[in-house]
Structure 1
Amino acid sequence: MVTLLLAFRLSPLLLLLLAGPAIVTAGDLDAAVPPDTEAAALLRLKATLSDPANALEAWSPSSPSAPCNDTHPWPRVQCYNGGLIGLRLSHLNLSGEFDFAALSRLPGLHSINLMRNNFSGPLPASLATVRSLRALYLSSNAFTGPVPGEVFHTMSWLKKLYLDNNDFSGVLPADAIAGAPRLLELHLDHNRIEGPVPSKLPATLRRFNVSYNHLSGVLPEAVAVRFNESAFAGNPGLCGAPGSDPGACAMAEFVLMSNVAGEFGLPELMKASAEVLGNGNLGSAYKAAMRNGVTVAVKRMRDMNRVGRVEFEEHLQMLGELRHPNVLSPVGYHYRKEEKLIVSEFMPRGSLLYVLHGDQSPERVVLDWPARLRIAVGVARGMAYLHEKLGIPAMRLIILVFVGSTVGF
């Protein structure tokens, strides 16, 4: 019987600070900054902001006093010994592209609080220029894009980073986070961050929260024992959190959609003897013979690291529901950010391409014209079914089937 081996390309899915008040221990201030330099920096910053409530109206070149004047300091600034050490700009309905570079010449600036404003878009690259920061509070804005590794690489004094309740996405910069030498608190909850939890976190880290994201994979044991399970809640694809079922990880990593090929799980699949069947545009195919006697075909997908779990699973569930004698549906799949496997029944006689052009053994199957006609009819029936159920244009089906060498029997 002719069977179409499903080949498809998923569309890639494109692609992080303390909730309390900004109280900073001043410590040793760096070289004193002239008051006019502080004023110039704040005025340059103000020029980039939208301030509908005029909360920063007193930040003016005509102000009679310096920002950290002992008797008449500017509003929303935090001072110590006459020098600027912090900005308290939370709850002001501010927006615009915050010009961190304007503050780069203030070596005593240790804290910036922008919580609960309307800032959006990716974090400005200029953030990395404020290397003196100890605390950065960006909670409850609308920042997007990935968490930039440069924050951890260049801001070596950073101790508290609040990025929660934004719209950050992508994968965490694991190496950069692990290398942060003084980080005490990292809050990334309520975003759209994907991928695994970093296996290495700074030894200094005391508070860590990645709850309510799109994290997946196995929670590293070394991380799980350091933090409360609430730090990882709200990540359906993440297994191994404190208090979870010890067997949940294997179930979460491998989904068996049909037992038509037999009962097995990821442990059995990983221990199976593997034989390479071929390599294609979408990845490599293997014959996996398990110890329980079950033999399946495994497709290891390539160039799909940007495909999210939701999109991947939606496609696989849809394909797993296909039922037709001329269509081979997947029976299971394994999803991790860095690896994706699709499992189907094993076709012992190989692909049509192999039978026609690759098998040179004395026992090879010779296809006469009546057999070739039956194969063509089977292919047509399978393609018609896919066209009807999936709505794929006929010409694209032809390309998928024949260029992908996906006819087996």
Structure 2
Amino acid sequence: MAISRRKPPKETTPLLVASKTTTFLPIIVFSLFTLLHRVTSDLTQQTQALQTFISKLPHDSRYSWNPSEFICDWRGVTCDATNSSVIRLRLPAARLVGKIPPNTIGTLSHLRTLSLRSNALTGGIPSDFSNLLSLRNLYLQNNVFSGEFPFAEFTGLERLDISGNRFSGEIPLSVNNLQNLTNLLLHNNEFSGPLPSLHVDSLVDFNVSSNKLDGSIPTSFSKFPVSAFSGNINLCGNPLPSCNNTSPPPINRRDSKSESNKLPTGAIAGIAVGSALILALLLLILLLCLRRKKTTQQSKQPPKPLATAAGGSNAGGNSSSKDEFSGGATEGDKNKLVFFEGGIYGFDLEDLLRASAEVLGKGSIGTAYKAVLEEGTTVVVKRLKDVAATKKEFESQMEVLGKMENENVVPLRAYYYSKDEKLIVLDYMPAASLSALLHGSRGSGRTPLDWDRRIGIALSAARGVAYLHVVGRVVHGNIKSSNILLRQDAHRDASVSDFGLHTLFSGLSSPNNRVTGYRAPEVLEPRKATFKSDVYSFGVLLLELLTGKAPNQASLGEEGIDLPRWVQSVVREEWTAEVFDVELVRYQNIEEEMVQLLQIAMACVSTVPDQRPAMQEVVRMMEDMNRAETDDGLRQSSDDPSKGSDGHTPPTETRNSPITVTP
């Protein structure tokens, strides 16, 4: 019998795979297109919503958003990492007036932080706010909002501050739904009725003072101080005085006439007890008066000086105490934080006092703190030491410095002056300073500072100093690597900080170590710095970038020698290659550029001030170095830093040709 054999199946696997791939490819492309369209559509909708919001309310000109600009670049608007949704909207003290239009803010479904505090917003909270399910921080204090408590549905809230408004009605028991709350501030409103018992374990800051609440305070609030409940006349119970709900017994009017003329034994005992209680009460009042007098005397004493963050010199310490920045400020000095016109911040001194603080460093002019405000804004506060200027001189100099606006200059945002404390507020720049990056640990895990980054930092810093000299007519006076702050923006490598403050210190209170290693030889007092001495200090900074050595004797290993003289001594022996930082040796084809920058640096550190080039000339020489233009915009010859914001060219100074390295 013949056995039938099955033919082996054809090898169709590759074709099958290709077929499946062909089938799924359109689905993948369609899904990606749909997702991209949805993200674009969402962002377009959010843009239109915020444009409608700002167009329908009077507002500060700082927040006149330009529709031609990307929404994520608008002032007060922060998007997520993918720039697909608005997650933070901060408009504090933006002079907003009127009711929040519907279908505006309520459409920002991914919003996590909303700050509209210190405006003149009125009416109730729009019903479409119920869409803000991602909201974590809500700051509406100091407006004219009214209506009943509308926030019980915001179950993700962590911080809620609606103080200083006209909210009314009872505080609902449904507040217990907000189980993530850490801050609930309802004071200075018109809430009435009993205070509901809340069982929110995470609550650490609570205040319902100055409302119209009544009844007994639930035991769940016993951990909060008296100040959290004061100003509610009919509220009682711990920590306020206890509630007295007992009433005197009714009088028995059936007593006979003879009995009315006779005091029973119980009445006599009652009188005795009452007299004793009255005497005890008088003694208590006397003790309270004495204690109050003592407290008043203590309050008249000068406040303690500004405390170091975390009570010590530990740079990583934190402090949430109001004493952190109050220092010698008295009550009469409060709320005198002076902001400059066109600034981006809207907080006041009280907000600053509540900020947590971290010591960033102690420099020659004072201590710098990183201050994080309640709503997440981060600034740098510098507490100046040894200021000898009068209040008028201080304020006059601050007004000059507050007008400096350039991408390579760290702007001064605000200042505070009292008899014992002088503070300045600046933008916080999370990247390190040039000093930290250049002289940090040089161990095996270090990432070297490459040549492109060094020349970019040098050029950015030169443009910043040139702007101060030519447009601002301001002498920096304290140029050093720790005052060159690095930016995360690749097109703006660095900005100069701490400029123009040297004039606030007297010669006696300005020791030479304020600018150790950078000080020009003709400057005997730092406050006598000039444009030419700034050029010298910048030249030392260039040498620091080229050599990798800090400009002090210890780093040079030779007593009594500074960095310029050390470089000259090495070059004199024809060991020029030994000058440059060993971390630059690995890079190819940069020798010519390094020598050119060394020539510029040596021109700047000439011992004769008149032989030093002006800063705008230094910028031009650096831009004209024989360097191929890179894609990152390192060379921008058309961007003349000596031009002001109005584009005019200031009067030119004497131009010096670069000199050779040979001394």
When normalised by structure 2's length, the TM-score is 0.30
When normalised by structure 1's length, the TM-score is 0.48
Which of the pair has more CA radius of gyration?
Answer: 2
Q: Name the structure where strand makes up a greater proportion of residues.
A: 1
